[in-house]
Structure formats: C-alpha cells, structure tokens
Amino acid sequence: MKPARSKHCSVCKVCVPHFDHHCIWINKCVSKFNHIYFLAFVGWHALICLYGSISYLLVVLGELKKDTVKDHGAHDKLLDVYSWFELPIVFWSKMLQFNNENKVLGLLGLLNLFFTCFLPIFFGYHIRNILVNRTTNEDVKVQRMFYGFTNQIIIWSTLLAKLSS
C-alpha cells in the first residue's frame, strides 16, 4: 500500500512521497524534501530574467536616445522630442530595428522578456499551492474533476479568508 499523497514517477521510476511534479529543468521529482530548493531555483531565475530584461530595455533606450540626439540635436530628455503617445511607438520601432541589426542579442532580449513575464506567474502559482496545502499533481487532478474556474474561485476565496483573518 502506498503512502498518502505519493505517486510513482514514470521518469525517475521511484515512488515519491508528497509528489508535486517531475521537473525537467532540475531533472528530479519535486516533493516535500526539495520543494523549497525548487522555489528558490524559480525565484532566483525570475530575478535574473528581470535583471536581463531591464538591461536589454536600457540598451534599446540608450540606442534610441543616441539616435534622437543625432537626429534632433542635443536634448536632455526624450520627452522633449516625443510626446507620451509617440514614445512607446518610437521605442517599439527602435526595438524592432535593434533586433534586426543585432539578431542574436534581439532574440535573447525578447526571449528574456517572455520569461520575465511568465516566471513570476509560475512562482506565484507554486506559492499559492503551498498556502492552500496542495501539490501541483493534486491541483491538476482537481481541475480535471471540476472543469473550469469554479474550484479556483473557491481556492482563492478561502485563501483570502485565511489571509484576512
């Protein structure tokens, strides 16, 4: 008889107590024994991607400012040349131009922006699972049973009730 909340991992070929999921990035099963290390892994990667995205955007902003100074003369601020409406459009066009000139850096920058958007969501999902005392495996099974957002509304409302009290 297997222990409660355990599962046999088909990749590792072992029975894992309090099985969360098998992670291909660390090539191990995430369970109650290493869940904190997995969260640290995801959290640090989210911060590193944020740092890379900010650096990428600052490089593109520097290129935009350099071109603006070259085209319009010496201006201290971009808002002296462009309005609040024009600046995002000009910045986006400069980003596309920069990515065409520096294909590898542009591709890595856009990939980094993508991961910067989704890693904090992934990290938050696992924090939510910890707060409601549920593993990813159990969460997926519950979502399959209820087909939809009804169960998620119940989970979030009970979580908010716990946090507010």
Q: Token pair of 84, please?
A: 């609040």
From the list 108, 159, 117, the residue with the least C-alpha distance to 134 is 159
The token duo for 60 is: 């593109």
Among 64-78, 101-115, 122-136, which range has the highest average pLDDT?
Answer: 122-136
Q: pTM for the full model?
A: 0.71
Yes or no: say if 113 and 53 are a contact pair by the CB < 8 Å rule.
yes
* pLDDT at res. 133: 87
Q: Is the pLDDT of residue 157 over 70?
A: yes
Instruction: For residue 39, give both structure tokens.
Output: 């969260």
- Side chain identity at 40, as an amino acid letter? A
* Portion of the chain with pLDDT greater than 70, in percent: 83
At 15, phi and psi to the nearest 5? -90, 125
**23 in catalytic set:** yes
* Better-scored residue on pLDDT, 131 or 88: 131
Amino acid letter, residue 77 = K
Instruction: Please indicate whether residue 99 or residue 136 has the higher confidence score (pLDDT).
Output: 136
User: How does residue 43 score in pLDDT terms, banded at 50, 70 and 90?
Assistant: very high
Q: Is 85 helix (H, G, I), strand (E, B) or coil?
A: coil
Higher-scoring residue by pLDDT: 1, 21: 21
For 87-112, write each residue's pLDDT tens digit: 777 777 777 777 777 777 878 888 88
For 16, phi then psi, to 5°, come to: -115, 120
Q: Confidence band (pLDDT; 50, 70, 90) for 80?
A: low
Are residues 159 and 152 in contact, defined by beta-carbon separation less than 8 angstroms? no
Q: What number is the average pLDDT over the span 108-128?
A: 91
User: Which pLDDT does position 149 carry in this prediction?
Assistant: 61
Query: Which of 9, 12, 15, 23 is flagged as catalytic?
Result: 23
- If one compares 108 and 67, the residue with the highest pLDDT of the two is 108
Q: What angle do CA 116, 57, 64 make, to 5 degrees?
A: 160
Mean of pLDDT over the chain: 82
